[in-house]
Amino acid sequence: MINKKILLCIVSAAAALFCCQPNRPGLTSDIRHTDSTLAREDAIRFGNLEVNAPAAVVYATFNQFCKSHFGAASDTLYYHQAQKNAKAHAPSWMYVSERSAVISLESDLPSYSYIEYGPELPYTMKTPVQERPFYLHTHYLKNLLPASNYHYRFVFVDNDGKETIANAGTFVTRASHPGTLYISSETGAPPYVLDQENATYLLTEDIVADGAAFDIRAGGITLDLGGNTVIHANKALENLRYRDLGNSGAGIRRYGSAPLSGLKIFNGTIRQGAAPNNTDYLAGENMLKPDPERMKKLSANLNRGFSNIEIEGFENVEIAGVTGEYHLPQSYSMRFDSCAGAYSIHHNIFLDKGTQLFDRHGAGGARSLAFQPLKHLKNTENQFTVHHNLIKRTRQNAINVANTVYNNEIYVDSWVVNSFAIQPAAQGGRVYNNKIFLTGYYACGILWAEKDLLVKDNFIHMEGVRTMISKPLKGRRLIETWGEQDILAGMRITNYGKGGTYRANLRYESNIIIGNARHGSEMRGTEFFSDYSNHGIVFSNNTIHVSADDTLSKASCVNTQGAYNDRSKHLPILYTDNTLISNHCNIRFGDDYGQGSNHHFLRCELVRSGNNPAYHTFIFDGGNAVFGHVLLDCEFKNGAGEQDVYWYRTGSASNYSIQQTLRVHAQPGTRISIADRNGNLVVRDTLLPDGKLAVPLTRLIVRPEAWAEGRKEEAVNNQHGFQAALPTPYSITAGANAKTRRRSTALKTKAELNLKF
C-alpha cells in the first residue's frame, strides 16, 4: 500500500533525478502538449486513423499521442515506480565493432536522449535525439576508426527540458582481423549466403535487397551489421515462397529441418522495403467477411517470408543491438520457428509502422518478437530470455512465449482484437520490471500461463481512445464487431468457451497499473476469469489507479470475469493487500465477456478519486447473476462505500459480502463456538493450541431488492436499490476447565476478544 506522505516525498525525490542544466537549443521544442485542449485533439486525431493511412502519418500521429498522454507528468505513480526500481545510470550493455558501436542505457524516468562522442575531448559527434521520451536508450555510434580510443557520454532531456549528463566513458574499437569475412557491394549482390561454420561476418555498408538479404546455412555464425542499415523485401516477388531463397523477402533468414546451433546477430538496422506481395488480399475483398477458399490459398505466405529476422531450427541464439522496422500486413520483426536451447534477445529496438492485418489468430498476425518452440517445449519451461528491448510501437502482439521476460519497454497501438504486450511461456514463466503502454482498439498488457507464473514489479499505463463509429456500428480499424469495443486491460486470465482449461499457481505481485479512458472507451485494470479449473490465482500487493475522463467511458480497477458454466463451482481468485483507486468503479462484477463468481478481496483499500457523477464502488454487469464475492478486512476511503452498488445488468441472485476478522485470545485448549444472530453456528469445537484464533465473520451481505430466499432468479430492474442482511451480532462461547464465558460482538470496530479464564 502506498502511504500518501511517502508518495509526496517520492515525487520530490524523483524530480531531482534529472540534474537541472541550461537548455540546449533545438532539444526542447514540442516536448509535450500539456494544454488539455491540444491533448484532446491529439487523442481524437489518433483515434480517427484508418487502415489506409500512410505509415509515416500513422507513426507521427501515434508519436504525438504518446508525448501528450504517456510520461511521468501524467500520474505521480510514475515516481513511485521509479523510486521502487531506482538504479544507477550505467551502461547496461555495449557492443563495439571495428567502425561502429552500439550502447544501451536505462533511465529511471522517461526522457529524450542522445550520445556525444569523439576520439578526444571535447566531443565532436553525436547521435540523433530519440523521437519521444523513453526509459530504454540505444544509440549507434558510427564513422569510427578501427583500433582507436573513443570518449562518450549520455545526455538526457526530460519532459520539462531539463538535462542530465551521465556516464562519461571510453571504449576501444576492434582492430581488423584476417579471419573476419567482410560483406559489401564489392562481394556481390544480396541475398548473401552465410555458410562458413563458426565464422564472423561483418557488413561494411548499407545494402538494399529486392527480396531476402542474408541466408544462414551454418552454425556458430556471428553476423555484425556494422551499425549499417539493411533494407529487404524492396520489390514484388513474382512467385512468393518463403522457403525459396530467390522468392523470399525476409531480411535475415534460415529455413531447414536439420537443427543448427549457435547464431549471434549484433549492431545494425533491418528495415522492410516496399514489396507489396502480402497485400494482395486487400484488393476488392471484404476484410470483415473474407472468402475462406481464397484465404486458404493465401495463408501459406500471408505471414511468412517478410520478417526482418526469420530463423527456423536453431538453438542457442543471441540477438542484441538490432533495430527492426516493419510495416507490411501479416509480418513479424523477429520470428523463431522450431526453436530450442537458450535464446537471449536483448537491447534491441522494434518499430511497427503498419496497420493492416488479415488474420490475428495462431501464428498469424503482426508481432514484434515471437517463438514457435519445438513441440516438446510448447507446454513446458523453455530457456528463452527477452530483456531490455524497446518496442516503440506494435499494432498487435509484442513478446510471445518466452520463459523469462524483464526490463522491456513496450508500446501497443492495437489495430485488432487481442493485441498483447507479453504472452508468457506455458509453464514456469517469470515476467518482471517491464514497462508497458497500451492504447488503441483492444490491447492487453500481460497474459496468463498454464501454471507456475510469476508477474512482479511491472508498470502498465493505459490510455483509452475511441476508434469505433457508433451509428452504424463499424470500426476504423480491423474489427470483429461483437461485445464492447475500444477496450484496454492491464492483466488478463481467460478460459474460453465453456471453460475448464487448467490454470494453476499464477501470482501477480507488486505491480502498478494506471490509466485513463475517454470518448466512450473502456478500461480494466485486471480481468481474471474464475472457473472450476483455475487454482491458486493470487493478485497481491498491487496498486491500480484508473479513471474515466467522461460519463460515457468505463474504468474499473478489477473486473471479475468468469467462464460460462456453473458459477457456483468457480474456485476463489484472491486479491490481497491491493490499493484500488478509481473515479468510476473500483470493482466491476462481470461484463459482456464473462461473469465470474467467488472473487475474494483481502485487506484491500478501495479509494474513490475525483467527482465523476457516474462513480460507484461496485457495479454488477453482464446480464447473469454472480455471487460469493467477499471483501474481508477491506478499507473504504474518500467516498468509496461498502454499500455503494449499482446493479447495471445482472440477476437477482447476485451478491457480495463484507467480512471482518474476529481475533480471539484464550488459554490453549479452549473450545470455541460462534453463532450468528439467528443461532446458526459458524465455528464449533475449535481448539486453540497457541491460545489464538482468527475467524472471518460476515458483517454484511448486499443483494438486489428483487432477491428472496427460494424465489426464482429474475433480471434486476431497480438498479440502485439493494437489501442488506446483517448476521451480527455474533455470540461467542468459550469453554475450558469446566468454565464457560459468553460474549457478543457487532463487528463495528476492530474485532478482538480476550476470553482468558
Q: Which residues pair with 372 in a beta bridge?
A: 337
Question: Which of residues 755 and 668 earns the better pLDDT score?
Answer: 668
Q: What SS3 string covers 525-551? A: EEEEEECCCEEEEEEECCEEEEEECCC
Mean pLDDT of 723-743: 90
d(CA 2, CA 750): 22
Enter the C-alpha cell of residue 453.
507464473
The dihedrals phi and psi of 49, each to the nearest 5 degrees, come to -60, 145
**Mean pLDDT, the chain, integer:** 89
pLDDT of residue 398: 97
Give the DSSP letter of residue 298: H
Question: What does the angle CA 527 – CA 468 – CA 356 come to, to the nearest 5 degrees?
Answer: 90
Confirm if 270 and 263 have CB atoms less than 8 A apart.
no
Percent of the chain with pLDDT over 70: 89
Edge to edge, the sheet with strand 671-675 lists: 681-686, 671-675, 730-736, 739-745
Q: Of the candidates 565, 568, 583, 551, which has an alpha carbon nearest to the alpha carbon of residue 500? A: 565
pLDDT digit string, tens, across residues 188-229: 999 999 999 999 999 999 999 999 999 999 999 999 999 999
- Does 537 score more than 90 pLDDT? yes
Q: Of the candidates 237, 264, 440, which has an alpha carbon nearest to the alpha carbon of residue 357? A: 440
Q: What's the first-to-final CA gap in the chain, in angstroms?
A: 38
Instruction: Verify cis geometry, omega within 30 degrees of 0, for the bond prior to 290.
Output: no
- Does 412 score more than 60 pLDDT? yes
Give the DSSP letter of residue 277: G
> How buried is residue 615: exposed, middle or buried, by Cβ count under 10 Å (0-12/13-18/19+)?
buried
pLDDT digit string, tens, across residues 334-393: 999 999 999 999 999 999 999 988 777 766 688 999 998 886 666 677 899 999 999 999
Q: Which residues pair with 474 in a beta bridge?
A: 469
When pLDDT is cut at 50, 70 and 90, the band that residue 283 belongs to is: very low
The dihedrals phi and psi of 569, each to the nearest 5 degrees, come to -100, 5
Confirm if 134 and 159 have CB atoms less than 8 A apart.
no
d(CA 425, CA 421): 13
Mean pLDDT of 438-465: 97
d(CA 616, CA 601): 17
Enter the C-alpha cell of residue 465.
481512445
Q: Of the candidates 308, 374, 389, 428, which has an alpha carbon nearest to the alpha carbon of residue 106? A: 389
Question: What does the angle CA 510 – CA 513 – CA 518 come to, to the nearest 5 degrees?
Answer: 170
Confirm if 541 and 505 have CB atoms less than 8 A apart.
no
When pLDDT is cut at 50, 70 and 90, the band that residue 273 belongs to is: very high
Q: Rounded to whole angstroms, what are the CA distances from 550 to 76, 504, 565? A: 21, 38, 34
Cell 551521465, residue?
Answer: 166
Confirm if 325 and 392 have CB atoms less than 8 A apart.
no
- Does 602 score more than 80 pLDDT? yes
d(CA 441, CA 463): 11
Q: Which residues pair with 444 in a beta bridge?
A: 420, 489
When pLDDT is cut at 50, 70 and 90, the band that residue 7 belongs to is: very low
- List, in order, residues 6 or more apart from 13 with CB less than 8 Å away: 79, 83
Q: DSSP string covering 197-243, please?
A: TT-EEEE-S-EE-SS--EEE-SSSEEEE-TT-EEEE--S--TT--TT
d(CA 13, CA 55): 40
d(CA 644, CA 585): 10
- List, in order, residues 6 or more apart from 556 with CB less than 8 Å away: 523, 524, 525, 546, 582, 584, 585, 586, 587, 588, 619
Check: pTM over 0.85? Answer yes or no.
Answer: yes
Query: 4-15 and 77-84 are packed helices; what angle lies between their axes, rounded to 10 degrees?
Result: 80
Give the DSSP letter of residue 427: B
Confirm if 648 and 614 have CB atoms less than 8 A apart.
no
Q: DSSP string covering 683-726, please?
A: EEEE--TTSEEEEEEEEEEEEETT--TTPPP-B---SS-EEEE-
Question: Which of residues 7 and 400 earns the better pLDDT score?
Answer: 400
d(CA 68, CA 463): 10
Confirm if 730 and 697 have CB atoms less than 8 A apart.
yes
pLDDT of residue 358: 76
Cell 521476460, residue?
Answer: 405
Mean pLDDT of 104-129: 95
Residues in the chain: 757
> How buried is residue 444: exposed, middle or buried, by Cβ count under 10 Å (0-12/13-18/19+)?
buried
CB atoms within 10 A of CB 723: 13
Q: Which amino acid is at 112?
A: Y
pLDDT digit string, tens, across residues 480-530: 655 568 999 999 999 988 999 999 999 999 999 999 999 999 999 999 999
d(CA 439, CA 415): 9
